[in-house]
Amino acid sequence: MADKCYILLPGLMILCSVLKGICGVEDTHVFLSSEKNVRLPCNIALSGCTSTTWLYTRHSETVELVAGGKLNNIERRERLSLGSDCSLNIMNATKVDYGCYNCQQYVNGEREGIDASVCLHVLNVSLSSPQTEIRAGRSVTLSCQLYYYYGVSCDYLVSIEGYQLMWVNQAGVNLTTDSRYQISDFTSSHCNISLTTKLLNEDHNREWRCQLTQGNQLKTSASFTVNYSG
């Protein structure tokens, strides 16, 4: 089991793990739900950040996001910005943003200090049918999936690290206790769990929430609120 420490930032729980041979020698792991803003820290803040490079890795492919303190012309550019402390800010992060981010500083062409490696994991809830079909009497299926970057299988996260996904109501009660809801078995091969139910009149503005936990600790959650458009 990897050695761990925990850092609590406003709105985010960050897990620092020594996971050798996975994302890097020592990585910060950030969990959040889709469409939230996130700040990825850099170990060293140099004045003006003109020596800062940010790299993004997923599926063995690496893209240079920032070079010399300037954003490169990439698809996600409008949602990225560099903080005054050389951190990388991502607005409205979605499942396309999950992966490992690496901050490097160069002074006179030489690497300065220790790289910051931040692995971003995104929890996403999706709807099986168009929003226009959401009305009382219809059945609806919600899918909750963790898009993770560990370099290991979801089975490892579940069996070794103790991660789980579950659906809860607004009071935080596990919906598997209510026969009205059909909750799929947690699919550890894809880190996915789904909820199916027939909508009632009183479900308008009702919220269902998918939670990612590790043991008794909540890592992040993503919610869906029923809205009958009329």
- CATH number attached to the domain at 124-225: 2.60.40.10
Q: What number is the average pLDDT over the span 134-158?
A: 88
144 has which bridge partners? 125, 193
User: Over 159-171, what HEC string results?
Assistant: HCCCEEEEEECCC
- The residue type found at 181 is Y
- pLDDT above 90 as % of the chain: 62
Query: pTM of the predicted model, to two decimals?
Result: 0.83
Residues forming CATH 2.60.40.10 domain(s) in the chain: 29-120, 124-225
List, for residues 89-128, the tens digit of each pLDDT value. 999 999 999 999 999 998 888 888 888 899 999 999 999 8
- The CATH label, of 3.40.50.1000, 2.60.40.10, 3.40.50.150, 3.30.70.270, for the domain at 29-120 is 2.60.40.10
